[in-house]
Amino acid sequence: MPDIEHDYSAEMHPASALDYLPVEEIHELQLRRLQATVSRAYQRVELYRQRMEERKVSPAEIRTLEDLTRLPFTVKSDLRDTYPFGLFASPLEEVVRLHASSGTTGKPIVVAYTRQDIGVWTDAMARTLAACGLGRGDIIQNAYGYGLFTGGLGAHYGAEALGATVIPISSGNTDRQIMVMKDFKVTAICCTPTYFLHLLDRAAQMGVEVQELSLRVGVFGAEPWTDSLRRHIETAAGIKAYDIYGLTEITGPGVGIECRCQAGLHIFEDHFYPEIINPASGESMAEGEEGELVLTTLSKQAMPMLRYRTRDISAFLPGPCPCGRTLRRIRRISRRSDDMFIIRGVNVYPSQVESALLAVEGMLPHYQIILTREAGLDQMEVQVEVTPPVSSDRVAALENLHNKLAQALHQTLGLRVKVRLVAPQTLKRSEGKAQRVIDRRNI
């Protein structure tokens, strides 16, 4: 890789220097940090010590990066079981920030940051935004929610560290978002892809042509989305849309990001060590093979995570990225292992439904899947919000649309499902995140 530094140094943001480290240096750094993290977790967190003793592994036995696979996994219920502070490896006196997940299923999970942890997160987020081609002079509208949700403050600190101008507008109040985007000549927006779609709809209603505005980059995440949706967004808004990855348990947004090649997400490996495993056996998968993404934090103090099972399905992409970054890439996550549901014996992922809907011309994927059980039989209904381009004054046109959607779903899923057209903005959204599946089968 002799030419890489030369080719890209001109456009390389200073914050991104670590993205281009020679692989051997990354490995050295990773091992040093892993050993420190494992020692810290073992000495300070009861759960980790117990689990490691059960597996008869001590911190001193972690001599290579491969030894990582001897460590126990950590799962989401571990965070719930130790709620609120049970996994902290720092005394509260050293903790400067707490965040929590939205907790749509039971108790929320709580995460902690020392001042250094905030620095690590800020570094990862600054490099994230730099990878999307942003820097000084950019005006970033941060429409992730500010609060317990990590999205808002994570993107905020990163954007400031990068030297960009941040508009901390938070989520909601779409009309004001559009006014600000237009009047402040915003060049980039951070939000969920679903919320951006809503913003585009609303802008069209208000007579604002988003394509004509200064907006050129969208950093979209916090929910899985498909490549078909990316193409739709890029065309409709005249921007580049980047997929950002992160999760509260590991740090928040900024674990991984697409570069301008949009060919997989680079993981900030100097802070977060990725593995892809077989979700059933726990064995490591070969490069290119699909499996569950597992992450270990390498730089965090207050809440180190050892082999955290993300439930997100991905694969390592082989070969170097043309952008010159030496950070490994994972395929973008379009589904989670716990997203899948089984209906009449068929495995279904919400991302399949999204692709099917987008295949119908002019359709926007504001949809929700409702699962019910009638007389012992599973029923699946897909509710789709009607938008101006597909609406009509003619019943026949809407029934035709309805039939096309039903047909597209049948073809993709291999099973007949009920389609229902609903009025705009009637499907539930939380913190800008779309709730894709409502399962009423057990109620």
Distance CA 139, CA 167 (A): 7
Segment interacting with other proteins, rule: CB under 8 A, options 26-34, 317-325, 357-365, 415-423: 415-423
Query: How many residues form the binding site for other proteins (CB under 8 A)?
Result: 20
| Cis-peptide into 108, omega within 30 deg | no
- Rg of the chain's alpha carbons, rounded to an integer? 22
Cβ-based nearer residue to other proteins, 15 or 363 = 363
374 binds other proteins (CB under 8 A): no
**Closest approach of Cβ 428 to other proteins, in Å?**
15
DSSP 8-class letter at 284: B
**Where are the strands (E) in 215-258, listed by range?**
217-220, 240-247, 252-258
Q: Is the Cβ–Cβ distance between 386 and 421 less than 8 Å? A: yes
Per rule CB under 8 A, is residue 426 in the interface with other proteins?
yes
* Per CB under 8 A, 375 contacts other proteins: no
Minimum distance of other proteins from residue 419's CB (angstroms) = 9
Shortest distance, CB of residue 353 to other proteins, whole angstroms? 18
Q: Is residue 391 within the footprint of other proteins (CB under 8 A)? A: yes
Q: How far is the CB of 423 from other proteins (least distance, A)?
A: 5
Judged by CB under 8 A, the stretch of 217-225, 260-268, 328-336, 418-426 that binds other proteins is 418-426
Based on CB atoms, which residue is closest to other proteins, 271 or 366?
Answer: 366
Closest approach, Cβ 226 to other proteins, in A, equals 24
- What is the rounded CA–CA span in Å between residue 29 and residue 31? 6
Least distance (Å) from other proteins to the CB of residue 392? 6
Q: Which is nearer to other proteins, 103 or 388 (CB)?
A: 388
Distances (CA, A) of 89 to 86, 310, 411: 9, 21, 51
Q: Which two tokens stand for residue 438?
A: 């409502």
Verify binding: residue 50, other proteins, rule CB under 8 A: no
379 binds other proteins (CB under 8 A): no
Indicate the residue among 174 and 299 with the shorter CB distance to other proteins: 174
47 counts as binding other proteins under rule CB under 8 A: no
Alpha helices in 100-219 (DSSP H): 115-131, 150-162, 174-183, 193-205
Rounded to 10 deg, the angle between the 23-44 and 46-54 helix axes is 100
Options 11, 81, 287, 399; binder of other proteins; rule CB under 8 A = 399
CA distances to 146, 206, 218, 269, 434 from 362, in Å: 33, 19, 21, 40, 20
Question: Taking Cα atoms as reference points, which of 222, 130, 215 lies closest to residue 171?
Answer: 222
- Which residue among 6, 394, 428, 443 contacts other proteins (CB under 8 A)? 394
Looking at 29, 36, 100, 422, which residue binds other proteins (CB under 8 A)? 422
- Pick from 423, 428, 442, 443: which binds other proteins (CB under 8 A)? 423
Q: Considering only residues 10, 375, 395, 443, which one is a binding residue for other proteins as defined by CB under 8 A?
A: 395
Shorter beta-carbon distance to other proteins: residue 242 or 367: 367
53 binds other proteins (CB under 8 A): no
Could you say which DSSP state residue 318 is in?
P
Peptide bond between residue 22 and the one before it cis (omega within 30 degrees of 0) = no
- Report, in Å, the least distance between residue 389 CB and other proteins: 9
CA–chain centroid gap for 357, Å, is: 22
The reply on whether position 261 binds other proteins by CB under 8 A is no
Round to whole Å and give the CA distance between 304 and 111.
10
Nearer to other proteins, 22 or 388 (CB): 388
Q: Which amino acid is at 127?
A: R
389: how many CB neighbours lie within 10 A of its CB?
11
Instruction: Write down the least CB distance from residue 195 to other proteins, Å.
Output: 15
Cα 371 to chain center, whole Å? 25
Asked if residue 274 lies in contact with residue 282, where contact means CB atoms within 8 angstroms, the answer is no
Rank residues 278 and 392 by Cβ distance to other proteins and give the closer one: 392
Amino acid sitting at position 115: R
CA dist 291 → 243, 315, 399 (Å): 19, 6, 40
Q: Which of residues 182-211 bind other proteins (CB under 8 A)?
A: 205-206
Least separation, in Å, of the C-beta of 364 and other proteins?
11
Specify the stretch interacting with other proteins by CB under 8 A; choose among 93-101, 211-219, 356-364, 417-425: 417-425
Is 386 near other proteins (CB under 8 A)?
yes
Map the footprint of other proteins across residues 163-182, applying CB under 8 A.
none
| CA gap 198, 215 in Å, rounded | 16
Instruction: Based on the shown chain and the rule CB under 8 A, indicate whether residue 392 belongs to the binding site for other proteins.
Output: yes
List interacting residues with other proteins (CB under 8 A). 205-206, 386-388, 391-396, 398-399, 420-426
